[in-house]
Chains A and B, each alone.
Chain A
Amino acid sequence: MQPESAMTPGLEVTVLVSVGRHPLTGRARRADQDARGVELARSFADAQVRLLHAGMRDESSEAALRGYLGMGFTELSLLEQPQGADVLPALAEALDATSPHLVITGERAERGEGSGLLPYLLAERLGWPLVSGLAAVESVEDGVATLLQALPRGQRRRLKVRLPAIVTVDDAAPAPRQSAYGPARRGAFEATAGPVSVDDEWAAWHVQPARQRPKRLKIVKAASARDRFKAAAAKAEGGSGQVLTDVTPTQGAEAILTLLREEDVLR
């Protein structure tokens, strides 16, 4: 898949993997985006790929993490952290110590805070560049990676970035390979203790399942197949949007409130 000739041999890649959560059943699993990150790393020829997870180790998370091992790895590095800990310092320290060329991670976690901020905070702390929404790594030569970034509607942007760097992948990256049961259960966890920073704020939060947001029905008034196709393929447009400039916060808030009432979100 990748042009192998253009890969620096011995490229060290670390993939940050997390414990995912199935959207319907809530069961722990390999997180989809992280698995895509692993798949991306597996497509590099001659790269040394290391899996790194920071978090709590229990039965269900171990089963989920073994899902990554089943993609063809013999071991996974584990920074053991208590539940609810902020894993940022531990990850930053571990990455600083091993200094890989490239760190790959998903856009956001499927459980916990899931704010999607971790890659940014990590990049800030390490002082490394960050590229989000990667579709492919085209080549790595002389410490410079040529990346293909995914933009909406199938567009791609080619970027060059100096290593070390952090890249995140989303659904545009290649789908992860099947996780095989045999290698998954034979794989080993290499556990190390990292610095623990307890997130008091998070501990005070109350977490509940999100209520489904109301969704605007798309009414297509099309007479012909061509119109229907155009409607289906059309870019999502705001249409009757309104741009407010130079307004006070109160006026802005009122405008938003009015809109929410119009849309029947608030009653």
Chain B
Amino acid sequence: MLDTLLPILIFAALALAAVGAVRRIRLWRQGRPSPVPVLRGLATVPRRYLVDLHHVVARDKVMSNTHVATAGGFVAAMGLAIVVHGLGLAEGVLGWLLLAVSATMFAGSLFVARRRRDPPARLSKGPWMRLPKSLMAFSLGIFVVTLPAVGVLPADAGGWLVALVLAGVVAWGLAELVFGMTWGGPMKHAFAGALHLAFHRRPERFSTKKGSGGNRSTGLKALDLEDDQAPLGVETPSDFTWNQLLGFDACVQCGRCEAVCPAFAAGQPLNPKKLIQDMVVGMAGGSDAHYAGSPYPSPERGDQPVGEHQGSPHGPIVAPASTKDGKALVDAETLWSCTTCRACVEECPMMIEHVDAIVDMRRHLTLEEGATPGKGAEVIDNLIATDNPGGFDPGGRLNWAADLELPLMADVERAEVLLWLGDGVFDMRNQRTLRALVKVLRAAGVDFAVLGNEERDSGDVARRLGDEATFQSLARRNIATLSQYRFDCIVTCDPHSFHVLKNEYGAFYPEGQESGYPVWHHSTFINQLIEAGRLRLAPGQAARVTYHDPCYLGRYNGEYEAPRAVLQALGVELVEMQRSGYRSRCCGGGGGAPVTDIPGKQRIPDMRMGDVRETQAEQVVVGCPQCTAMFEGVVPSAGDEEVAVKDIAEMVAAALDTTPEAAPAPRDASTAQATEEVMS
């Protein structure tokens, strides 16, 4: 009897899955077009899954092994089950293989069940709680029905009642794991996830066989401003590109993003996981009442209750200002809470691009609605009128350096290094950093020049606030200025300018031109100077310091080593915070967050300073004017010692050996020697 039932069940499940797949694909296709190579994309899936995705999953060893056993077991079991039970080809090793893989899958599902027994807060509950049982039903069911096929049990063992029960168990497993995959169950992540990997909007993120590409793609995508009648940004879920919608659908609701999101931890109304789920709700139409994870925090109410928001593919995501007290899919504050720190993207095992989506929606709010909150509108107006966010006189960009006689590019026209000063020139705190950096460059005998009053804001904050028009205007004018001069590289002490110059200006070079120079963060450049033996450092700073990785240097550009190498060369004792490197926690200063200033239960920089205090360091070393400002704004609670905030350039400037050099002969630039020298 099972012999007749099983093929029916298997092929019915496959047929239903195919119907569901068509329906699901039509949901995604509501999005804007985005051309992808279909066959080549599909061909990349195994590598992208096994290498890139697994690289992220493997940060949690237990979970990664669990997933390998369960998912690998399932794929193999399903394939073999079609052959063995669907087509009735149980001869030889096939049946035994099926027994082995379903047993493996069962072992994996036991671990899934263990994790679901007392799940951490970041995991979604709801339908996800039944998943381990479904996995067990499938693996156990397939295992038992295969026993007769290989001849371990007689074909009619147990009679028709047992056969019927077994068929029921297998049907349950097939329902969850095969057509549940395309009809929106928890297993949806496998179907959508595989296609998301194939048609990802940032193919550069993935490794290739040659190992080139850098596996990093963090610059925001340019918004096309050519068509002056087109609405700008994302207003409705269908305004996302179709592969963005596909990406949202791939979410497995593991909540790793939630666990690392600084805004969520600060009690601001943002939870990256919920945001992605809201986009799925909007894409399919309906309300968020069925969401079973942590909701958005709410400073007033503790948590935002679910069920109050709803959306549709062609309805607005954020209720327009004209609708009084209106609620749509998400509240504007949710989108403006993001600091664009990219911690969520870094952690996401499904490679979902949260920051892109948030900026896309912000673009609509700013460019179409004129609804940038807080001081955002003022900052944008200042950028338009004065080319800097503070509204300072652009003719006074070099006032801080009146005594330094910095060489101007306009005078020298070519230099080894173009020193990009950034808007920190107007900030008295950052002026100290800049002075220190100039001192270091001069000590190393670097031939550098600055743009002076010709420099403009890089456009970083305008872009993150969604004002792509102002960003592109600033970018094009800066590019025109840069292309007048000859230099080997750009060095800047602002990671935001660094990121924008390095990764985002490329799209705006006039046709036939491209940026032909490297851009370095000052920590990288100083490290190069030290390695080349161009800096003489006097050891003896016996400080205990910790280093805070700026998001736009670390996660955005992968520079974790150089600042640490510089600190090592200084001979200071470096203690790492629990969250450092790619898991560094944001200072709260990015993405225009200090400007829009969405209230929460606590402030992000306070939390980060708490991390600093845990290390009992006397100083926190930073490499970003925003981080400096955010940390220096933290008031220590009663009884806590003040922790000094130092830029890495200040640390190096203070350690410069000013005693006259005995022999001015050029040094041998071997790294080992230089390191040894400064360490002694």
Contact = CB atoms under 8 A, between A and B. Distances in A.
Interface of A: 22, 24-25, 27, 29, 70-72, 177-183, 185-186
Nearest to B377: A178
A178 B385 CA distance: 14
Contacts of B384: 27, 29
Nearest to B467: A181
Contacts of B392: 24
Given A71-B370, A180-B369, A25 B394 contact: yes
B232 interface: yes
B385 A25 contact: yes
Contact of A22 (B367, B386, B470): B386
A42 to B, nearest CB: 11
Contacts of A29: 381, 384-385
Contacts of B231: 182
Given A186-B228, A186-B229, A180 B367 contact: yes
Contact of B386 (A25, A179, A180, A185): A25
Contact of A178 (B229, B370, B394): B370
A178 to B, nearest CB: 4
Interface in B356-393: 366-372, 376-377, 380-381, 384-386, 391-393
A98 B197 CA distance: 61
B367 A182 contact: yes
A178 B367 contact: no
B469 interface: yes
- 10 pairs of A and B residues whose beta carbons are closest in the complex: A180-B370, A178-B377, A178-B370, A182-B368, A22-B385, A181-B367, A181-B469, A182-B367, A182-B232, A24-B393
A29 B380 CA distance: 13
Contact of B368 (A24, A25, A71, A180): A180
Contacts of B369: 180
A181 B380 CA distance: 11
Nearest to B393: A24
A179 B370 contact: yes
Contacts of B380: 178
B228 A185 contact: yes
Contacts of A180: 366-371
Interface residues of B, number: 25
A247 B369 CA distance: 61
B370 A70 contact: yes
A27 B228 CA distance: 23
Interface of B: 228-229, 231-232, 366-372, 376-377, 380-381, 384-386, 391-394, 467, 469-470
Secondary structure at the A interface, as helix, strand, loop or mixed, is loop
16 contacts: A22-B386, A24-B385, A24-B386, A24-B392, A24-B394, A25-B394, A70-B370, A177-B370, A177-B377, A178-B377, A180-B369, A181-B232, A182-B367, A182-B368, A183-B368, A185-B228
Contacts of B367: 180-182
Contacts of B394: 24-25
Nearest to A176: B377
Given A178-B370, A178-B377, 8 more contacts: A22-B385, A24-B393, A25-B385, A29-B385, A178-B366, A178-B380, A181-B232, A181-B467
A71 B370 CA distance: 8
A229 to B, nearest CB: 24
B372 A178 contact: yes
A178 B232 contact: no
A78 B191 CA distance: 57
Contacts of B370: 70-72, 177-180, 183
Nearest to B232: A182
A186 B225 CA distance: 12
A178 B228 CA distance: 19
B15 to A, nearest CB: 46
A27 B229 CA distance: 26
Contacts of B368: 180-183
A153 B231 CA distance: 44
A25 B380 CA distance: 15
B407 to A, nearest CB: 25
A29 to B, nearest CB: 6
Contacts of B372: 178
Nearest to B394: A25
B243 to A, nearest CB: 24
A27 B382 CA distance: 11
B229 to A, nearest CB: 6
A181 B469 CA distance: 7
Nearest to B468: A181
Nearest to B231: A182
Nearest to B233: A182
A25 B391 CA distance: 10
Contacts of A179: 370
Nearest to B372: A178
B469 to A, nearest CB: 4
A260 B516 CA distance: 61
Nearest to B321: A177
A71 B372 CA distance: 13
B299 to A, nearest CB: 24
Contacts of A185: 228
A249 B391 CA distance: 46
Contacts of A71: 370
Contacts of B371: 178, 180
Contacts of B381: 29, 178
